[in-house]
Amino acid sequence: MVTGGSRGIGRAVVDRALAGGDRVVVLARSAAGSDRPAGRVLALAVDVADPASVAAAFEQLDGPVDVLVNSAGVHRGGLVEQVGDAAWNEVLATNLTGAFTVVRAARPLLVAGSAVVNIGAVVGLRGFAGDVAYGSAKAGLSGLTQTLAIELARDGIRVNLVVPGFVETDMTDGIPAAARERIVAGIPLGRPGRAAEIADVVWSVAGSSYMTGSTVAVDGGLLASFGAPARRVRDRAGG
Ligand code: NAP
């Protein structure tokens, strides 16, 4: 089951699951009428920010759910004085409350051996000016992940957080060229990530039978560096 499975990282996770022969439930606002192979994908139009929409979808579902990936997310940037209530509430409702609402609804369908993977963000673990709402929501996801890991461990259900760095998707498409160049210059590996590279890690974490409550970065080295020095090292090496 993949929230936000219609596009970007979520879609790459769906592709990964289908390649392995699994059946997938996709939950996203535009999910209905998906072009996936018939019979192996159930695509339901769900707004994770709306608990009634989530509840209605789960009335149609039965378990067990082996893997639940919470990838649905939105980004609204802005400094603290620029972020209005609507943007703050949308970001929190989608990225944080949405994950909580979906896990709560899915809880009866999760069984021993099931895995939940939440998709965090580097800015949920490190401060980044202009990401007050998004960073707060993703930091909350970190607390949600660890709490759920402890609560669900007794039933053999694992919960982990995968933290992508800067990944080429619709979410990052609209970033102005100059800002994008600055961000990429701070990535030690010198390039954005691809959705499939994140999906590979999500899949590996989901299948790791002794991992729970963990935070796994897949970020080209972003979390390990101060940003600008990464470029200096490459420049000095002539790379
Ligand atoms: P994306 O390409 O914009 O895809 C976002 C997905 O979330 C879409 O499938 C969208 O589907 C779904 N979604 C958004 N709001 C929703 C809602 N209210 N209810 C249900 N589904 C909703 O973004 P992405 O880059 O793949 O991001 C996926 C996850 O990775 C997000 O949690 C994001 O915060 C995180 N992330 C991304 C990056 C990055 O650099 N791209 C970095 C770190 C973390 P519909 O529009 O059809 O609803």
List per-residue pLDDT tens for the chain, 239 residues long.
Answer: 999 999 999 999 999 999 999 999 999 999 876 566 768 999 999 999 999 999 999 999 998 999 999 999 999 999 999 999 999 999 999 999 999 999 999 999 999 999 999 999 999 999 999 999 999 999 999 999 999 999 999 999 999 999 999 999 999 998 999 989 999 999 999 999 999 999 999 999 999 999 999 999 999 999 999 765 556 666 667 65
CA distances from 200 to 15, 21, 104 (A): 10, 15, 26
Q: Which of 171, 189, 194, 223 to mutate to test the pocket of ligand 1 (most atoms within 8 A of CB)?
A: 171
Q: Which atom of ligand 1 is nearest to the CA of 95?
A: 32
Q: What is the CATH number of the domain that holds 63?
A: 3.40.50.720
91 lines ligand 1 (CB under 6 A): no
Q: Could you give the strand order of the β-sheet that contains 215-218, starting from the edge strand earlier in sequence?
A: 41-45, 24-28, 2-3, 67-70, 115-119, 158-164, 215-218
Torsion of CA 99, 18, 109, 210, to 10 degrees: -80
Establish whether 134 is a catalytic residue.
Answer: yes
Q: How many domains does the chain have?
A: 1
The parent domain of residue 228 ranges over 2-236
Catalytic residue among 58, 134, 166, 203: 134
Show the tokens assigned to 25: 């439930």
pTM given for the model: 0.95
Helix then strand count (H, E) for the chain reads 9, 7
Strand partners, 87: none
